[in-house]
Every structure is written in structure tokens, then in C-alpha cells.
């Protein structure tokens, strides 16, 4: 099994899940600065020219949330649960991609990716709008987490890996997470996991 990745937020959650599950994975770095994600060889794996991507035998899979599901199924792990809990995981994956990480990701892009790629100063209007939405949806997440260890109560799932993915960058990206004590507590619990703290192979070091 191969995971193609760069040290950015979407590959981070995939690599963290693979390491948490201790799966036999070959981590293949993709150098975005050299355009390796746009080569014919890579586009045959992921025609979107994005990371991450996965190869598992004849399976070629892209989109980080789908890859996390595949990894959990391969390990027979309840990170991807059955029954009604599966619906709840899908709810949080959808909510996060449309709301919380969507806007926190805008701050991540403006304060971390743009400087790393030499794309100029943050877009003040985009930052202001995104910060407002992070506060709005952060309040929803904060309220939900009250009295819970994880998004689904006592059960750690891929929804936690997905929804928290911008939080390791909160200080650098000026994501106002410190305004939400339940989110801070939840992320501190995730930080107890070595796979969350250090998801990437140590030999690979990139700026973002």
C-alpha cells in the first residue's frame, strides 16, 4: 500500500490515520514545488493533480476522507464504524468540509501557504470573512464537544482526524481556537496520540 503525500493539511490526516493504525504503508513524498503532482505518472493515479492519493493493489483512490475510510476498513478498525455511527461520521465529515475546516483552511492558506510559495501578503478581506465564519462554526463545534471525549462521544473516529486537521497550525494561521475551551481540550486529547503529533515520515521535511 502506498500513500502519496506532501506536508499539507489534507495529507496530514491520512498519514496520521495510517500511523495510528500501524498499517504497512509506503509513504511516497510528492514535491509540489517541483510540479511532481502534475506529471503524467502522478496524474494517472490522481487525475486532479492533488495530494493525497493511495495505491493498494489495483485500487487507486483519491480524496483524503475516502482514503481514511479505506485505511480503517483495511485495518478492520472502528475509526470507520458501522450502523448509525457511520452516518454520524459522514455528518461531521460533510460539516467540516463545508464549514469549519473550509474557513480555517482559508486562514491556513493566507498565513502559511502564501508566504511559503511567495504569493504575497494575506488577503485582508478573505481573512476577515474566514475568521468570522471560524468563530461562528467554532461555536457549534465547541458546544457539541461539551461532555464528550471525541465527536462521537467516547469513540475516536476518522471524523476527529478530519475536523481537527487545521488545529496544529492554529497559532501560525491565526485561527482563533483559543476562544473555544472545549475545542482546545479535545485537541489536547488528540495531541496525546503520537500519530497525530508526528504523522509524516521524519526524513521528509517541507515548509508547510
Mean pLDDT of 50-68: 97
Q: Which CATH class is domain 83-195?
A: mainly alpha
Measured CA distances, 149 to 8, 10, 29, 95 (Å): 26, 23, 33, 19
The domains spanning 2-77 and 83-195 adopt the same CATH topology: no
Mean pLDDT of 31-58: 95
Question: What are the pLDDT digits (tens) for 91-116?
Answer: 999 999 999 999 999 999 999 999 98
Check if the beta carbon of residue 17 is closer than 8 Å to that of residue 200.
Answer: no
- The predicted pLDDT at position 205 comes to 40
> How much is the mean pLDDT over the chain?
95
Q: How far apart are CA 18 and CA 131, in angstroms?
A: 31
Check pLDDT > 90 for residue 208: no
- The predicted pLDDT at position 116 comes to 87
How would CATH label the architecture of 2-77?
3-Layer(aba) Sandwich (3.40)
Helix intervals (H) in the chain: 9-20, 40-43, 64-74, 83-95, 101-108, 114-117, 124-145, 158-163, 170-173, 181-190, 194-197
Domain ranges of the chain: 2-77, 83-195
- The predicted pLDDT at position 165 comes to 97
Cell 492558506, located at residue: 109
Question: What are the pLDDT digits (tens) for 125-178?
Answer: 999 999 999 999 999 999 999 999 999 999 999 999 999 999 999 999 999 999
Give the model's confidence band at 203: pLDDT under 50 very low, under 70 low, under 90 confident, else very high: low
Amino acid at each position: 500500500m502506498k500513500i502519496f503525500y506532501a506536508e499539507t493539511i489534507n495529507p496530514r490526516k491520512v498519514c496520521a490515520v495510517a500511523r495510528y493504525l500501524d498499517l504497512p504503508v509506503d509513504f511516497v513524498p510528492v514535491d509540489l514545488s517541483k510540479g511532481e503532482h502534475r506529471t503524467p505518472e502522478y496524474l494517472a493515479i490522481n487525475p486532479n493533480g492533488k495530494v493525497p492519493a493511495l495505491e493498494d493493489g489495483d485500487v487507486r483512490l483519491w480524496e483524503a476522507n475516502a482514503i481514511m475510510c479505506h485505511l480503517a476498513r483495511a485495518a478492520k478498525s472502528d475509526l470507520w464504524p458501522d450502523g448509525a455511527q457511520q452516518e454520524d461520521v459522514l455528518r461531521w465529515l460533510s460539516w467540516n468540509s463545508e464549514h469549519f475546516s473550509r474557513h480555517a483552511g482559508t486562514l491556513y492558506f493566507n498565513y502559511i501557504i502564501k508566504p511559503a510559495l511567495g504569493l504575497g501578503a494575506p488577503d485582508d478581506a478573505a481573512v476577515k470573512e474566514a475568521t468570522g465564519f471560524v468563530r461562528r462554526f467554532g461555536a457549534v463545534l465547541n458546544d457539541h464537544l461539551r461532555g464528550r471525549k471525541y465527536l462521537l462521544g467516547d469513540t475516536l473516529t476518522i471524523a476527529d482526524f478530519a475536523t481537527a486537521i487545521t488545529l496544529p497550525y492554529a497559532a501560525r494561521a491565526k485561527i482563533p481556537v483559543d476562544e473555544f475551551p472545549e475545542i482546545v481540550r479535545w485537541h489536547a486529547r488528540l495531541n496525546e496520540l503520537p500519530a497525530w503529533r508526528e504523522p509524516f515520515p521524519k526524513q521528509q521535511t517541507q515548509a508547510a
